[in-house]
Amino acid sequence: EIYYNEVQKLMFELSIWRADPTLKQRAIDANDRVMTKYGWDADSVVEERKQRNYPEFWRPLPLSEPYRVVLSELRDKLYETKDALQHNLAGKYSDAEIISDSKDLLEPLIMCYESLCNTGDKCIAKQHLLDLIRQINCFGMSLIRLDVRQESGRHADVMDCITQYLGLGSYKEWPEEKKIEWLVRELQGKRPLIPFDLPMSAEVKEVLDTMATICQLKHECHDSLGAYVISMSTAASDVLAVLLLMLENGTRDTPP
């Protein structure tokens, strides 16, 4: 919401027509993407933007205002990102194209900054626009990173639930060497480990649901995640268990 409002302010400020060739081309491409999305129907663009309660700049902007054209596309993406996150919080999936990385947010802003500097408007570039770029560099997309903490014994409970269901015995009764051997083998494997019909306690379900949420956030807004803290960790298996649970709950990439 903060970045959305800041971009809206920049649209009011940057009515300048002077721009370098790179930004002019970016404005042409941005305009083409927006108009193609709405079937080159300007009225459809206006209707959609009014429904979003934009305070101004409903109509497709002329290419003689390249900064506003570029920022208008960024405003749309920020709105769609905010809307998608609200849907996810309500348990609804959104297939909208969202900004999940601060680099995607910074790229058009830096392009505007460089264009202003290249065309003799450095004094304008170093005001509100530069402040916003610095803010994003410092705080990322989410403004603050979320640390997650869980006690190592809760992860062991999940592993024990899985191994007993699979007929492998009690994970918690295994020696450390056997735990590491099994965890490494599962990490290197390609088949799913957790059965879809795994009977589980509320505590085990809570851990698995937390892992699934972490993996979802990693894909949709990975800047929002900080450290995963394993309390009461005393052995290598405590760390490997967390790694395996993260990989099994939605991603085969390196977890946060």
Please tell me the pTM assigned to this model.
Answer: 0.64
pLDDT of 252 > 60? The answer is: no
Could you tell me which residues come within 8 angstroms of residue 107 by beta carbon, excluding any fewer than 6 positions away? none
> pLDDT digits over 146-200, tens only?
788 899 999 999 999 999 999 999 999 999 999 999 999 999 887 888 888 889 9
| pLDDT in the model for residue 176 | 95
| pLDDT in the model for residue 87 | 64
pLDDT of 96 > 80? The answer is: no
227/256 Cα distance (integer angstroms): 7
Our CA angle for 174, 231, 164, nearest 5°, is 30
Lookup result for tokens 């570029």: 70
Mean pLDDT of the chain: 86
> pLDDT digits over 220-247, tens only?
666 677 788 999 989 999 999 999 998 8
Would you state the structure tokens that stand for residue 8, as one six-digit string?
Answer: 């809206």
Closest CA relative to residue 185, chosen from 237, 253, 256: 237
104-126: string of b/e by CB count within 10 Å (b at 16+)?
ebbebbebbbebbebbebeebbe
